[in-house]
């Protein structure tokens, strides 16, 4: 693994949080390596939709972290290799509501007129936000790390104690793995399912603003569209549910009829690492200095660059 003298930071975890944090640390001049139980394309991040949007606003740090990430993703959208695109679309709510405060910060925000809203929705707004093709984006981050000479070792970690002496600091980006590694009994899985279909000619996204388990959104990514979704707290079942998938397609088709007969390519299932508050803070476990960066729920992408900046600040090594 190497000695402390060789490495400034060892990032544990290779999802979007781990990769982004490693990029930020390495670009600040630190000597960084990654160790993870699974390669990036086998993480929960690879099964994400994914669109930018701050959803866990009970944590006051989420809004600035989200804004930092939006600005970073907007810059990346200029590189076609990144898998990030700026796409205009609609967010709508079933009842009357004012848009969240963060929406007003998006440059081309505008409220929807009642006649523009799909059936069953009472308020809504349009804006342009980053949509991310996650498999392509994770590959892009890996390539960026390779140019920074950041090695990625695929090997499970049974305890942080075994990593003592591996680097000056450890950065814990293990998501649900933190339940056992920390351990953290506030962390729990929220099962999510998506349906990937052929794109029948959709250029704009749609997502509802709802507080229940059944979500409705569709996100175009070139030749495919990602349809969602659901959120089942406490479930760890990774088996695709055909009935739930059919319900997702039906909800999306009610908004956009072109989706009703689109060919299904894949059904994706992932477990969001959910916690009452995101945990980004310094800690010491078994005498090992650790900076935690986990518990992002369904907002791992949305918070990724902001949380990575926070980790860099906490490291005190830049």
Q: Which residue has the tokens 């709510």?
A: 93
User: For 28, which DSSP code?
Assistant: T
52 vs 167: CA distance, rounded Å: 32
Which pair of structure tokens corresponds to residue 291?
């900076």
User: For residue range 51-82, what is the model confidence (pLDDT) as tens digits?
Assistant: 999 875 568 899 999 999 999 999 999 999 99
Region 167-194: mean pLDDT is 96
Fold matches, 1-83+133-186+276-318 and 86-130+188-274: no
pTM: 0.95
173 vs 235: CA distance, rounded Å: 21
User: For residue range 259-273, what is the model confidence (pLDDT) as tens digits?
Assistant: 999 999 999 999 999
Domain 86-130+188-274 has CATH 3.30.9.10: yes
User: For residue range 222-274, what is the model confidence (pLDDT) as tens digits?
Assistant: 999 999 999 999 999 999 999 999 999 999 999 999 999 999 999 999 999 99
On the 0-12 / 13-18 / 19+ scale of CB atoms within 10 A, 210 is middle
- Under DSSP, is residue 147 helix (H, G, I), strand (E, B) or coil? helix
Of 87, 72, 84, 89, give the one whose Cα is nearest residue 133. Answer: 84
Region 187-205: mean pLDDT is 97
Q: Give the pLDDT band (50/70/90) at residue 1.
A: very low
Residue 260: alpha-carbon gap to chain centroid: 27
In contact, 168 and 8? CB cutoff 8 Å? yes
Query: What is the reported pLDDT for 209?
Result: 85
User: For residue range 121-149, what is the model confidence (pLDDT) as tens digits?
Assistant: 999 999 999 999 999 999 999 999 999 99
> Would you list the domain boundaries of the chain?
1-83+133-186+276-318, 86-130+188-274
- Tell how strand 279-285 and strand 232-233 pair up: unpaired
The superfamily in CATH containing domain 1-83+133-186+276-318 is NAD(P)-binding Rossmann-like Domain (3.40.50.720)
Using alpha carbons only, how large is the chain's radius of gyration in Å? 20
């Amino acid at each position: 693994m190497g000695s402390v003298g060789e490495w400034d930071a060892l990032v544990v975890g290779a999802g979007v949080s781990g990769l982004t944090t490693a990029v930020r640390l390495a670009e600040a001049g630190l000597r960084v390596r990654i160790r993870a139980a699974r390669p990036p394309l086998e993480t929960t991040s690879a099964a994400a939709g994914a669109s930018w949007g701050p959803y866990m606003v009970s944590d006051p740090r989420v809004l600035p972290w989200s804004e930092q990430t939006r600005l970073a993703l907007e810059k990346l959208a200029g590189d076609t290799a990144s898998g990030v695109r700026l796409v205009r679309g609609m967010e709508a709510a079933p009842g009357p509501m004012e848009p969240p405060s963060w929406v007003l910060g998006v440059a081309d925000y505008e409220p929807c007129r009642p006649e523009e809203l799909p059936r069953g929705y009472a308020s809504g707004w349009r804006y342009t936000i980053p949509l991310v093709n996650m498999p392509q984006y994770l590959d892009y981050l890996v390539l960026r790390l390779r140019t920074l000479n950041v090695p990625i070792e695929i090997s499970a970690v049974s305890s942080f104690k075994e990593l003592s002496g591996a680097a000056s600091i450890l950065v814990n980006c293990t998501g649900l793995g933190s339940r056992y590694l920390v351990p953290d009994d506030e962390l729990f899985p929220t099962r999510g399912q998506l349906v990937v279909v052929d794109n029948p000619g959709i250029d704009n996204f749609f997502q509802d603003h709802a507080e229940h388990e059944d979500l409705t959104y569709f996100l175009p990514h070139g030749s495919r569209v990602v349809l969602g979704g659901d959120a089942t707290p406490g479930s760890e079942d990774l088996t695709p549910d055909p009935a739930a998938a059919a319900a997702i397609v039906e909800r999306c088709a009610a908004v956009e009829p072109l989706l009703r007969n689109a060919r299904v390519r894949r059904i994706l299932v992932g477990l969001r690492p959910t916690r009452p508050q995101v945990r980004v803070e310094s800690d010491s476990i078994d005498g090992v200095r650790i900076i935690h960066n986990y518990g992002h729920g369904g907002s791992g992408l949305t918070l990724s660059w902001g949380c990575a900046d926070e980790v860099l600040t906490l490291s005190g090594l830049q």
